[in-house]
Structure 1
Amino acid sequence: MHYSRNGPTGSSGPRYLASTAVLLVEVIKLLASLTLAAHDMRRTHPTAPLFEIAGKLHRSVFAADSWKLVVPAALYTFQNSLIYVAISNLDAITFQVSYQLKILTTVLFSILLLGRKISSRQWVALVLLTSGVALVQIAGPVASSDAGAGGAWNWDWDWKERLTSLLSTGTSSGFKGLMAVLAASLTSGLTCVFFEKLVKDSLASVSLWTRNVQLSFFSLFPALFIGVLWQDGAAISRDGFFAGYNSIVWLTIALQALGGLVVAVCIAYADNVAKNFAASFSIVVSYAASAVIFRTPLMLHSTGGAAIVLLAIYLFNSRPTPRTALLPTSKEKPTTVGTNTKPLSFR
């Protein structure tokens, strides 16, 4: 995504509009979810004719409670727009590190909306996870100019200058990107947990893919009317809807859509905290794979960050002793499927 927004366009034309990409992601997710929902309907009614399957699918998608998906749909669209704003105004490292705040916001909203209980050990694991991911993604050191082949490294992370440029003025692009990524982190936590609550409360009666169809359908309206028509309508009228599109842009859109479908499965059968741990672990895997495949040198701080991530995953999954205090407590029952009240774990 960062390369598609900041890399060479390959022509003298304008860069593609983020609002059109957000809309296309939702269209692809809608079509894919419709196909999977129809497949589920066919499996449960193998002898029903096609028009009856279509009627059942239509009634399930536009059921009386479908309006509940309006809120997460609007929030998802807003979040995607914020991510494009952030990645367009920040370098990839700053964006990735800052966006890890969604791990903590997801846990906080899980406590508030789902009544989950997090043990003291798990709180430590969450802080370690956020710190470890940030360490892995921080730009590596550069060799000193006078160092030979076996010379020492000059650990120049340049974070003082980076923060100064981000916070120096409210009109700078860096500050705009920072505010966008912070808002996206907050919106991500709220939206994911709210959608998880809706899915798990009705999973016994409404299929996951029907919920995903509803979410994508309602997401089309803010993406189309607010993003495409209101925000970028003039530019689209002048340059066209697909101005600036190339293979990298289409690949980015496809990955966004596929990621949304995978996240829906993870939320339904695990939870959002498990999703964030999996995403964090994938960063460690990518770091190790780049060292093997592309011969990228292993940096001390990145290797330490990877070890911290693995430690955080172990601590979060390990069962606390019965005397471990739970912070904070909640009187609400967790909205998990077929499980009793216990500290949150994705094992």
Structure 2
Amino acid sequence: MAVAMLGNGVPKADLPRGAVVHASPRHWQLSIQRISLILLVVQNSALVMVMHYSRNNTIGSQPRYLASTAVLLVEITKLLVSLGLESHNLHKSHRSSAPSERAVLLYRSVFAADSWKLIVPAALYTLQNSLVYVAISNLDAVAFQVTYQLKILTTVLFSILLLGKSISSRQWLALILLTCGVALVQISGSGSLSSPELSWRERLASCIQAPTVPTSNASKGLLAVLAASLTSGLTCVYFEKLVKDSLASVSLWTRNVQLSFFSLFPALFIGVLWQDGAAIARDGFFAGYSPVVWLTIALQALGGLVVAVCIAYADNVAKNFAASLSIVVSYAASALVFRTPLMFHSTSGAAVVLLAMYLYNSRPPPRIHLLPIANERMHEKEEAIASVMAIGRHR
């Protein structure tokens, strides 16, 4: 009969009856990884459909809600939730302290000496969003969606440079396939390409034809999307390094509070006041809001929290794979819910994404080295003969 073993090598059968079995830290970390990655897939898949519905369905004569106000509310929500979770952790670790003392500890942990480091990813996130806006304004949807998938490869590149991560040739192939597969699936949501009346030749021509915007604007958009891809990879890896280097002394939720706090300023001053200040003054801050919009904000905030957990207990590469899988799931769900037809390129892209996930996570077959084994056996025979001769001489 097989006996189950615990993480420390003690068989479960030898434990006294009623004993409490604690999972090993490694097993607990793997569980957090799996749960967070699954939640990220579900969250991203639901967000795509809910956000699409919220942006394309207005309430009567009200204008469509402003994305800048939603971004600000997402950051406020993440800040409040992270503050609540960190306060709960302090309450558990300092039960004997007064509430005022715990509030002081929370303030000191959030505004510690190294909290300024979070200004860097907050500023990079703002720069990335601005570059994406410039790219979308100067490129057609197909060119932007395909080129922006380079952020998958830039994330891996910065993981190698900043984190010392090693990537095998098999995994590089999987990452390239993942980039191409996600690009194919993203194309399926692009205006004219998703029209079922177009033949495959017309869709192919639409992908490779020159953009309709002027050349100078197209060059500007291409440079912007390339810079956004680099910024995305650098921001994600920088935040991952910062969290993992200080996870033993600074909690994950403290880092999330710091990141959300410093992200409030660009979201408020650049997005709300500078970009959409006139529209807010005319129509109001909550113009166009509905329960679906609030659900979109909640899903976005949840995604930010889940991404932080993924970065802390997994890495950005795993996060990219989960996000890519969620794109495939969301398009499949859209076909079922909204009755949108599945195109050939989107189905092919989904298959390529699944193949890339298999290649990246599967282990290569072990190599068989016949010559070293033969040499080792020959060496063992020589040692045995030498020992027998030494015993004979001794006698």
Shorter-normalised TM range: 0.7 to 0.9
Closer, same or farther: CA 163–246 of 1 in aligned 2, 3 Å: farther
Query: Letter of the aligned partner of 1:134 in structure 2?
Result: A
Alpha-carbon distance, 1:295 to partner:
5.7
Matched, 1:208 2:282: no
**Contact 2:72–2:267 at 8 Å: present in 1 too?**
yes
In 2, distance between residues paired with 1:271 and 1:194? Answer: 11
Alpha-carbon distance, 1:91 to partner:
7.4
Correspondence for 1:233: 277
In 1, distance between residues paired with 2:305 and 2:214? Answer: 39
Matched, 1:190 2:226: no
Correspondence for 2:210: 164
Query: Letter of the aligned partner of 2:289 in structure 1?
Result: Y
Q: Which structure's CA Rg is the greater one?
A: 2
In 1, distance between residues paired with 2:184 and 2:70? Answer: 31
Matched, 1:309 2:353: yes
Correspondence for 1:27: 76
Correspondence for 1:76: 125
Alpha-carbon distance, 1:182 to partner:
4.0
Closer, same or farther: CA 207–270 of 1 in aligned 2, 3 Å: same
Alpha-carbon distance, 1:61 to partner:
0.5
In 1, distance between residues paired with 2:232 and 2:223? Answer: 14
Seq. identity, %: 75
Correspondence for 1:326: none
Correspondence for 1:100: 149
**Contact 2:252–2:308 at 8 Å: present in 1 too?**
yes
Query: Letter of the aligned partner of 1:103 in structure 2?
Result: I
**Contact 1:142–1:154 at 8 Å: present in 2 too?**
no
Match 1:9 to one of 33, 52, 58: 58
Structure 1 range deviating more: 24-33 or 231-240: 231-240
**Contact 2:142–2:207 at 8 Å: present in 1 too?**
no
**Contact 2:135–2:222 at 8 Å: present in 1 too?**
yes
Correspondence for 1:278: 322
In 2, distance between residues paired with 1:265 and 1:75? Answer: 20
The SS at the match of 1:156 is helix
Closer, same or farther: CA 162–35 of 1 in aligned 2, 3 Å: farther
The SS at the match of 2:203 is coil
**Contact 2:154–2:233 at 8 Å: present in 1 too?**
yes
In 1, distance between residues paired with 2:304 and 2:278? Answer: 29
Alpha-carbon distance, 1:134 to partner:
1.8
Closer, same or farther: CA 253–102 of 1 in aligned 2, 3 Å: same
Query: Letter of the aligned partner of 1:302 in structure 2?
Result: S
**TM superposition score normalised by structure 1:** 0.77
Task: Write out per-residue CA displacement over residues 136-155 of structure 1, whole angstroms, 9 at most, x where no aligned residue.
Answer: 3333676669xxxxxxx655
Closer, same or farther: CA 227–296 of 1 in aligned 2, 3 Å: closer
Task: Write out per-residue CA displacement over residues 84-139 of structure 1, whole angstroms, 9 at most, x where no aligned residue.
Answer: 66667877766544432211111111122212221111111110011112223333
Match 2:112 to one of 63, 85, 92: 63
Structure 1 range deviating more: 46-55 or 101-110: 46-55
Closer, same or farther: CA 159–28 of 1 in aligned 2, 3 Å: farther
Query: Letter of the aligned partner of 2:155 in structure 1?
Result: T
Query: Letter of the aligned partner of 1:109 in structure 2?
Result: F
Query: Letter of the aligned partner of 1:121 in structure 2?
Result: R
Match 1:109 to one of 158, 173, 194: 158
**Contact 2:139–2:213 at 8 Å: present in 1 too?**
no
Alpha-carbon distance, 1:83 to partner:
4.6
In 2, distance between residues paired with 1:179 and 1:17? Answer: 26
Higher helix proportion, which one? 2
In 1, distance between residues paired with 2:60 and 2:135? Answer: 24
In 2, distance between residues paired with 1:272 and 1:78? Answer: 19
Query: Letter of the aligned partner of 1:24 in structure 2?
Result: L
In 2, distance between residues paired with 1:273 and 1:166? Answer: 35
Query: Letter of the aligned partner of 1:222 in structure 2?
Result: P
**Contact 1:100–1:130 at 8 Å: present in 2 too?**
yes
Correspondence for 1:338: none
